[in-house]
Amino acid sequence: MTKSNNQFKRIIGVLVTALSVLIVGLWHGTTALAAPKMETGIGLPKDISVDGHRIDWLLGVTNLFVTILFIMVCLWILIACIKHGKKHTSDYDHGESKHTFIASLTVSALVFLIVDGNLFVNSMIDIDYVFWDFAGVEKKPDLVRIEINAHQWAWDARYAGPDGQFNTKDDVVTLNQINVPKDAPILFQLASVDVIHSFYLPNLRVKQDVVPGRITHLWFQATELGDFDIACAQHCGVNHYLMKAQLTVQNSDVFQEWIRQQSIDSVRLYETAVKEGGIHEKRFQETQWGWPWKKSL
């Protein structure tokens, strides 16, 4: 009895939270701008980031290597089948000479050093100095910090507002809409209330799981104005495919003005809610899911 009771409460809780987030989100909601542009062709989607080219280059080089290796394998099989067919007299060769041993290991080691070595070295550099260098990003001057609260099946975003502190009344909260300034580093801290989600920005070549019970990080710097898709890459339930948001890259002054306006609205809403008290205040507080910004290590 208590179990189903708890479950009932839990479901009601989730529903109420989702509803209030939706309402506040719509209040705060920026009207959707033009939808993202269609991609064409079958390659990588358009890269709109400062560092995405690192991943694209590494993928491209690896493609080249593996294509060469694959063609060699195909030719080898084809030639063997044509030249060394039924009429060919088979070589009696167990291939267990010292020469074989050295030659095979040398070839394996060479391929490893070139193909895997290139991947390893560049990936180490990429993650140490770029994609996972969160401590370094924290020190950048024009950094924009955003907290993301993921839940089935939407993304809530929270900006600190003019006071620079999270979870205060001037915070800007949006639903499925993330505005960021062009050419500035954007650092996210991500949390989930229910199941595991994954914050995926194909045009920026980055992705980070969002795990209940912990805060994860992701950062990027966009170089192009416009609207782009944000997706959930981790299966998170029935409507996983609908858990998408829109990233809008704006000029810095437009973004600052947007934040200022939104923040004024936030404060007014908050003060109205407090004045009216009761359900209004409660409903408002239920959307206060933010957390003090965590220091990156």
Partner 1 sequence: MSELQPIHAAPTSFIKKHIFSTDHKVIAKQFLWAGLLFLALGGFLAMLIRWQWAFPGEAVPFVGQGMFPSSDGSITPSGYTKLFTNHGLIMIFFAITPLLIGFFGNLLIPLQIGARDMAFPRLNMASFWVFVLSQLLVLASLVVPLGAAAAGWTTYPPLSTNIATPGLGQTLMVMALFVVGISTIMGAINYIVTIIGFRAPGMGYFKMPLSIWGLWLASILNLLFVPVLGSAGLLLLFDRLFDTQFFIAGASGNGDPILFQHLFWLFGHPEVYILILPAWGVIADFLSFFSRKPSYFYKGSVWALVTISILSALVYGHHMFVAGMSPMLGKSFMLLTLAISIPAELLFLNWLHTIWKGSIRLTVPMLFSLGFVFVFALGGLTGIHLGTISTDLYLHDTMFVVGHFHFTLAAATFLAVFAGIYFWFPKMFGRHMNQRLGKIHFWTSFIGINGVFTGQLIVGYAGQHRRLYDPYEYTFIKHLQPLNEWTTYFAFFLGVSSLVFVVNFFWNVFRRGHDENIDNPWEVGTLEWTVPSPPHHHNFDTIPTVFHGPHEYSNPEVKKALGKDWLAQTEKFSFSKQDDS
Q: Looking at residues 46 to 75 of the shown chain, list those that interact with partner 1 (rule: CB under 8 A).
A: 54-55, 58-59, 62-63, 65-66, 69-70, 73-74
Rounded Cα distance between 262 and 43, Å, is: 38
Taking the least distance from each CB to partner 1, the nearer of 107 and 274 is: 107
Identify which of residues 126 and 183 has a Cβ nearer to partner 1 in the complex: 126
206-210, strands of its sheet edge to edge: 177-181, 244-250, 226-232, 197-201, 206-210
Nearest distance, CB of residue 192 and partner 1, angstroms: 6
Quote the CA–CA distance of 178 and 150 in Å, as a whole number: 13
Tell me the DSSP string of 83-100: HTSTTSPPP-----SHHH
Shortest CB 173 distance to partner 1, Å = 18
C-beta closer to partner 1: residue 180 or 259: 180
- Paired tokens of 171: 């915070």
Residues 152 to 191: which contact partner 1 by CB under 8 A?
Answer: 152
Residue 252 makes contact with partner 1 by CB under 8 A: no
The residue within the footprint of partner 1, chosen from 43, 139, 271, 294 (CB under 8 A), is 43
Regarding 41 and contact with partner 1 (CB under 8 A), the answer is yes
Task: Decide whether 35 or 253 has the Cβ nearer to partner 1.
Answer: 35
| Length, in residues, of the chain | 297
Taken in order 9, 196, 176, 188, is the CA torsion positive or negative?
Answer: positive
Q: Is 218 helix (H, G, I), strand (E, B) or coil?
A: strand
Candidates 179, 192, 221, 250; binder of partner 1 (CB under 8 A) is: 192
Q: Which residues in 4-23 contact partner 1 (CB under 8 A)?
A: 7, 10, 13-14
Does 219 contact partner 1 by CB under 8 A?
no
Smallest distance from partner 1 to CB 263, Å: 27
**Could you give the CA distance from residue 5 to residue 127 in angstroms, rounded to a whole number?**
47
Please identify, using beta-carbon distances, which residue of 6 and 256 lies nearer to partner 1: 6
Site for partner 1 in 76-95 (CB under 8 A): 76-77, 80-81, 84-95
CA 230 to chain centroid, in Å, comes to: 8
Binding residues among 89-148 for partner 1 as defined by CB under 8 A: 89-96, 100-101, 104-105, 107-109, 111-112, 115-116, 119-120, 122-124, 126-128, 131-132
SS3 219: strand
Q: Phi/psi of residue 67, each to 5°?
A: -65, -45
Phi first, then psi: what are they for 11, rounded to 5°? -65, -45
User: In the complex, what is the shortest distance from the CB of residue 183 to partner 1, in angstroms, rounded to a whole number?
Assistant: 21
At which residue do the structure tokens 């009216």 appear? 276
Please state, as a whole number, how many other Cβ atoms lie within 10 Å of the Cβ of residue 164: 10
Q: Nearest distance from residue 161's CB to partner 1, in Å?
A: 25
